[in-house]
């Protein structure tokens, strides 16, 4: 059989004398006819090394590829990688190594941060979960070979007067640098005791009381030797004794009555702290110190009841003070050439709980978001909506909390109602299409038939926003290992005994 007019005899249109297929669907002529459905071309994804030379149907991906692999782009299917530390240090996409995540409960916010935590730990970054409230991250930290410290009544405590890793590092460094680090440790202890008194009173300390407290702490350091830690009862004893060094800052002029008038309010607050609901957790020596060499650290405060706001606030503050003191000690040792440089990734989940617990927590987190570049750490903060900030007591605290989103290098949104997205859009700049997309993820699941489990449509879907750039919509699919380590619904999972009992009836 010969070709006619250059046609291919194997094609149906060639036998009919046609040289071109139909422009829209199928071919005319014998063996032809319209095609009801045109299959899309098969799409293959490969690296440029594997697929070099392919033409003409090759297209590059615009998704970022620096950092922890997070998931797939919802539109293109391309792999999306990212985390606040890698995007700050390597890719230079952001100017502040921080992430702020918002979304309705049960859509996978903690799961995404948990993936970042695992990925960063694999690169040598040290994850610090300073106050795990559920806990969501304790099992992951254990699997990474890290340290899990439990804080709560009957489980463990923190001595807020212990300089911890900073004191040990100062003694090891010595010289002027060691004295500077010890002075910084003194400031951290002073701020921590002042925060506890603020929680007990419900209002800040007076300035002259902080002077009295500082003088008493300095005196205790000089008196204590042999490595014995200073405890809160020792501080109360010094105020009761009234040594000359402490009296000098009260301007008592040799009159005991003037001294007592000056220190009695502080004395009463410290006694109330020891004998009140916080005493058993903060009055004795630290049960377990943070190991500066641990590959990951989680301070688990999940044993504290959700209604116990005072103890929750105090434990959160103590955990942050101790953890950030460990970070400062690590950098001081690295600056002195006594230890390798280490980077840290801190996680603060369920941000709404500590924000409402006490005024001091807002200031602490506010300072962290402003100084995390100089501290050598990246951070991730997770909450539900921007309205969480509206529950704070003062307008100043509300403004500070809203500033967390404004200063974040990365803002990640899970499913949120449209009103929330419109409010967020005024802060980070969201397009109408992005608002509609994310708000559609907040819809509830459909009514499952035959008892099947129907997941919410927004579970595992996120929008990543960086400055004024277009958002990156991704889908996260977790592995079996992640599902085992990070089950946030363990209280709703039947126990093995319950399953066995159900099977016997």
Most confident of the following: 2-16, 74-88, 387-401, 445-459 = 74-88
Residue 378 is inside which H or E element, if any?
A: strand 377-383
- The reply to whether 131 falls in a domain is no
Q: How many domains does the chain have?
A: 2
Same domain, yes or no, for 354 and 461? yes
Question: Which of the listed residues 321, 342, 363 is the one where a domain comes to its end?
Answer: 342
Whichever domain contains 112, its CATH number is 3.40.50.300
Of 24-28, 142-146, 217-221, the poorest mean pLDDT is in: 24-28
For 434-477, how does the pLDDT look when each residue is reduced to its tens digit (9 = 90+)?
A: 999 999 998 877 666 555 567 888 999 999 999 888 999 999 99
Q: Is residue 138 part of a domain?
A: no
CB 385 within 8 A of CB 420: yes
Q: Both 95 and 164 in a single domain?
A: no
Whether 331 is in a domain gets the answer yes
pLDDT, mean of residues 246-272? 92
Residue 197: its H or E element: helix 175-201
Quote the pLDDT of residue 71.
Answer: 94
> For 46-50, 218-222, 425-429, which range has the lowest pLDDT when averaged over its residues?
46-50
- pLDDT value at residue 261: 93
Closest among 477, 443, 479, 444 to 461, alpha carbons compared: 477
Residue 49 covered by a domain: no
Concatenating the DSSP letter of every residue in 117-158 gives HHHHHHTT-EEEEEEESS-SSHHHHHHTT-EEEE-BTTTB--
Checking if the pLDDT of 502 tops 50, the result is: no
More confident residue, 360 or 328: 328
Q: Which domain holds residue 95?
A: 61-125+344-446+453-505
pLDDT value at 110 more than 60: yes
Residue 170 inside a domain? The answer is yes
Statement to judge: residues 205 and 321 lie in one domain:
yes
Tokens of 442: 């907040």
324 and 348 belong to one structural domain: no
433 and 349 in a common domain: yes
- DSSP lists the bridge partners of residue 299 as 130, 149
Going from the C-alpha of 443 to that of each of 69, 150, 400, 420, 438, the distances in angstroms are: 27, 37, 31, 14, 10
What is the CB-side half-sphere exposure of residue 248 using CA atoms within 13 A?
7
Range 170-179 average pLDDT: 94
The whole-angstrom separation of Cα 355 and Cα 239 is: 32
């Amino acid at each position: 059989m010969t070709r006619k007019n250059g046609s291919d005899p194997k094609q149906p249109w060639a036998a009919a004398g046609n040289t071109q297929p139909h422009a829209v669907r199928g071919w005319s002529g014998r063996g032809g006819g319209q095609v009801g459905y045109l299959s899309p071309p098969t799409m293959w994804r490969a690296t440029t090394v594997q697929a070099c030379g392919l033409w003409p149907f090759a297209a590059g991906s615009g998704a970022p590829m620096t950092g922890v692999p997070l998931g797939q782009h919802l539109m293109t299917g391309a792999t999306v990688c990212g985390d606040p530390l890698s995007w700050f240090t390597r890719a230079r996409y952001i100017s502040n190594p921080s992430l702020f995540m918002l979304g309705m409960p049960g859509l996978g916010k903690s799961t995404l941060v948990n993936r970042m935590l695992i990925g960063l730990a694999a690169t040598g970054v040290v994850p610090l979960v300073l106050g795990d409230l559920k806990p969501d991250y304790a099992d992951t930290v254990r699997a990474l070979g890290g340290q899990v410290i439990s804080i709560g009544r009957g489980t463990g405590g923190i001595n807020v007067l212990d300089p911890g890793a900073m004191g040990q590092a100062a003694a090891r460094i010595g010289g002027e640098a060691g004295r500077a680090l010890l002075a910084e440790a003194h400031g951290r202890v002073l701020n921590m005791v002042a925060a506890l008194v603020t929680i007990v009173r419900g209002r800040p300390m007076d300035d002259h009381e902080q002077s009295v407290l500082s003088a008493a702490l300095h005196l205790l350091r000089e008196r204590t030797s042999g490595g014995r830690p200073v405890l809160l009862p020792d501080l109360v004893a010094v105020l009761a004794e009234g040594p000359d060094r402490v009296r000098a800052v009260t301007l008592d002029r040799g009159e005991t009555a003037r001294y007592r008038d000056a220190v009695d309010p502080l004395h009463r607050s410290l006694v109330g702290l020891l004998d009140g609901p916080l005493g058993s957790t903060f009055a004795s020596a630290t049960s377990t110190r943070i190991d500066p060499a641990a590959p990951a650290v989680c301070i688990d405060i999940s044993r504290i009841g959700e209604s116990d706001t005072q103890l929750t606030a105090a434990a959160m503050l103590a955990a942050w003070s101790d953890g950030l003191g460990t970070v400062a000690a690590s950098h001081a040792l690295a600056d002195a050439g006594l230890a390798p440089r280490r980077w840290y990734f801190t996680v603060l989940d369920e941000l709404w709980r500590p924000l409402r617990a006490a005024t001091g927590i807002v200031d602490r987190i506010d300072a962290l978001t402003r100084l995390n570049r100089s501290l050598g750490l990246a951070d991730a903060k997770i909450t539900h909506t921007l309205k969480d900030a509206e529950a704070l007591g003062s307008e100043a605290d509300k403004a500070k909390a809203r500033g967390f989103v404004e200063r974040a290098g990365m803002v990640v949104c899970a499913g949120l109602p449209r009103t929330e997205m419109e409010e967020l859009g005024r802060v980070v700049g969201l397009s109408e299409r992005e608002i509609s997309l994310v708000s559609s993820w907040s819809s509830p699941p459909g009514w499952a038939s035959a008892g099947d489990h129907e997941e919410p449509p927004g579970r595992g879907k996120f929008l990543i926003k960086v400055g004024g750039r277009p958002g990156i919509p991704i889908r996260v699919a977790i592995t079996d290992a992640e599902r085992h380590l990070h089950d946030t619904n363990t209280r709703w999972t039947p126990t093995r005994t319950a399953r066995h009992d159900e099977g016997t009836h």
